[in-house]
Amino acid sequence: MRAPLLVIYENPGSFSQQLEQITHDRSVSLAQMCEPIARDHHWLVREPRQRPACLALLQQERHTVLILKLERKLIDEMSLLAAAAQSAPHVPIIVVNDVKLDADSRNHLTALAYDLGAHTVLFPPFSPDSLIPLILGSLPQLTE
Protein backbone atom coordinates (compact mmCIF):
# COMPACT_ATOMS: atom_id res chain seq x y z
CA MET A 1 0.00 0.00 0.00
CA ARG A 2 1.24 3.46 -0.85
CA ALA A 3 1.85 5.96 1.94
CA PRO A 4 -1.23 7.95 3.00
CA LEU A 5 -1.50 11.50 1.68
CA LEU A 6 -2.40 14.72 3.47
CA VAL A 7 -3.38 17.37 0.89
CA ILE A 8 -3.43 20.91 2.27
CA TYR A 9 -4.98 23.65 0.12
CA GLU A 10 -4.34 27.06 1.63
CA ASN A 11 -3.14 30.53 0.82
CA PRO A 12 -1.16 32.78 3.17
CA GLY A 13 -3.51 34.77 5.38
CA SER A 14 -4.82 35.40 8.83
CA PHE A 15 -4.68 31.70 9.80
CA SER A 16 -0.92 32.00 9.39
CA GLN A 17 -1.07 35.04 11.64
CA GLN A 18 -3.03 33.07 14.26
CA LEU A 19 -0.41 30.32 14.13
CA GLU A 20 2.28 32.96 14.51
CA GLN A 21 0.63 34.23 17.69
CA ILE A 22 0.46 30.72 19.13
CA THR A 23 3.87 29.49 18.02
CA HIS A 24 5.72 32.83 17.83
CA ASP A 25 7.07 31.66 14.48
CA ARG A 26 6.27 33.63 11.31
CA SER A 27 7.28 30.79 9.05
CA VAL A 28 4.75 28.20 10.29
CA SER A 29 2.19 27.13 7.70
CA LEU A 30 -0.66 24.69 8.07
CA ALA A 31 1.47 22.07 6.30
CA GLN A 32 4.42 22.70 8.62
CA MET A 33 2.12 22.40 11.61
CA CYS A 34 0.91 18.98 10.34
CA GLU A 35 4.41 17.80 9.40
CA PRO A 36 5.28 16.13 12.76
CA ILE A 37 2.11 14.01 12.84
CA ALA A 38 2.54 13.18 9.15
CA ARG A 39 6.13 12.13 9.75
CA ASP A 40 5.18 10.03 12.80
CA HIS A 41 2.53 8.19 10.76
CA HIS A 42 4.57 8.02 7.54
CA TRP A 43 2.16 10.23 5.60
CA LEU A 44 3.08 12.38 2.62
CA VAL A 45 2.15 16.08 2.77
CA ARG A 46 1.37 17.98 -0.42
CA GLU A 47 0.45 21.66 -0.79
CA PRO A 48 -1.04 22.25 -4.23
CA ARG A 49 -1.49 25.92 -5.11
CA GLN A 50 -3.91 25.41 -7.99
CA ARG A 51 -7.28 23.72 -8.16
CA PRO A 52 -6.43 21.20 -10.95
CA ALA A 53 -3.35 20.02 -9.05
CA CYS A 54 -5.38 19.63 -5.86
CA LEU A 55 -8.07 17.58 -7.60
CA ALA A 56 -5.45 15.43 -9.32
CA LEU A 57 -3.84 14.55 -5.98
CA LEU A 58 -7.20 13.35 -4.68
CA GLN A 59 -7.45 10.83 -7.52
CA GLN A 60 -4.39 8.87 -6.44
CA GLU A 61 -4.92 5.34 -5.21
CA ARG A 62 -3.99 5.89 -1.58
CA HIS A 63 -5.65 6.92 1.66
CA THR A 64 -6.00 10.70 1.54
CA VAL A 65 -7.31 13.57 3.69
CA LEU A 66 -7.93 17.04 2.24
CA ILE A 67 -7.61 20.08 4.50
CA LEU A 68 -9.19 23.06 2.74
CA LYS A 69 -8.73 26.51 4.19
CA LEU A 70 -11.48 29.02 3.43
CA GLU A 71 -10.42 32.63 3.15
CA ARG A 72 -11.85 35.59 1.26
CA LYS A 73 -12.52 33.87 -2.07
CA LEU A 74 -15.39 31.82 -0.68
CA ILE A 75 -17.03 31.12 -4.04
CA ASP A 76 -13.81 29.68 -5.47
CA GLU A 77 -13.04 27.75 -2.30
CA MET A 78 -16.56 26.35 -1.91
CA SER A 79 -16.50 25.42 -5.59
CA LEU A 80 -13.29 23.47 -4.96
CA LEU A 81 -14.95 21.79 -1.96
CA ALA A 82 -17.87 20.66 -4.15
CA ALA A 83 -15.57 19.47 -6.94
CA ALA A 84 -13.36 17.56 -4.50
CA ALA A 85 -16.32 15.87 -2.82
CA GLN A 86 -17.82 14.94 -6.18
CA SER A 87 -14.64 13.70 -7.84
CA ALA A 88 -13.24 11.92 -4.77
CA PRO A 89 -16.13 11.00 -2.43
CA HIS A 90 -13.85 8.58 -0.55
CA VAL A 91 -11.59 11.45 0.62
CA PRO A 92 -12.50 13.03 3.99
CA ILE A 93 -12.45 16.84 3.78
CA ILE A 94 -11.63 19.03 6.77
CA VAL A 95 -12.61 22.67 6.17
CA VAL A 96 -10.77 25.31 8.17
CA ASN A 97 -12.44 28.72 8.00
CA ASP A 98 -10.14 31.71 8.17
CA VAL A 99 -12.87 34.36 7.96
CA LYS A 100 -14.37 35.90 11.09
CA LEU A 101 -18.16 35.72 10.83
CA ASP A 102 -21.17 36.49 12.99
CA ALA A 103 -23.13 33.54 14.37
CA ASP A 104 -25.77 33.46 11.61
CA SER A 105 -23.20 33.65 8.82
CA ARG A 106 -21.13 30.97 10.54
CA ASN A 107 -24.16 28.68 10.74
CA HIS A 108 -25.00 29.24 7.06
CA LEU A 109 -21.42 28.67 5.93
CA THR A 110 -21.15 25.53 8.06
CA ALA A 111 -24.38 24.13 6.62
CA LEU A 112 -23.23 24.91 3.08
CA ALA A 113 -19.83 23.29 3.65
CA TYR A 114 -21.48 20.12 4.96
CA ASP A 115 -23.95 20.11 2.06
CA LEU A 116 -21.05 20.40 -0.39
CA GLY A 117 -19.19 17.46 1.14
CA ALA A 118 -17.13 18.59 4.14
CA HIS A 119 -16.68 16.00 6.88
CA THR A 120 -15.57 18.54 9.51
CA VAL A 121 -15.71 22.36 9.67
CA LEU A 122 -13.52 24.42 12.03
CA PHE A 123 -13.83 28.13 12.86
CA PRO A 124 -11.48 30.42 14.78
CA PRO A 125 -10.48 30.56 17.49
CA PHE A 126 -9.21 27.02 17.80
CA SER A 127 -5.97 25.38 18.69
CA PRO A 128 -3.91 24.14 15.76
CA ASP A 129 -3.44 21.01 17.86
CA SER A 130 -7.13 20.27 17.34
CA LEU A 131 -6.37 19.33 13.73
CA ILE A 132 -4.27 16.31 14.70
CA PRO A 133 -7.10 14.23 16.22
CA LEU A 134 -9.38 15.24 13.35
CA ILE A 135 -6.87 13.99 10.80
CA LEU A 136 -6.31 10.77 12.73
CA GLY A 137 -10.06 10.32 13.19
CA SER A 138 -10.67 10.79 9.48
CA LEU A 139 -8.60 7.71 8.72
CA PRO A 140 -8.86 5.44 11.77
CA GLN A 141 -7.50 2.44 9.90
CA LEU A 142 -4.18 4.27 9.57
CA THR A 143 -3.69 4.82 13.29
CA GLU A 144 -3.33 1.14 14.12
Domain boundaries, the chain: 5-138
131 in Cβ contact with 95 (< 8 Å): no
Residue pLDDT tens, the chain, 144 long: 678 888 999 865 545 455 555 545 545 667 777 777 788 878 888 999 889 999 999 998 888 999 998 887 889 999 999 999 999 999 999 998 877 788 899 999 999 999 999 999 988 776 667 777 777 777 655 444
Q: Which CATH architecture has domain 5-138?
A: 3-Layer(aba) Sandwich (3.40)
Other Cβ atoms closer than 10 A to 106:
15
Q: pTM surpassing 0.85?
A: no
The alpha-helical segments, DSSP class H, found in 1-144 are 14-23, 30-40, 51-58, 74-87, 103-116, 131-138
Rounded-to-integer distance, Cα 63 and Cα 111, Å: 26
Half-sphere exposure of 140 (CA within 13 A, CB side): 1
Rounded-to-integer distance, Cα 72 and Cα 15, Å: 12
Instruction: Please tell me whether residue 24 adopts helix, strand or coil conformation.
Output: coil
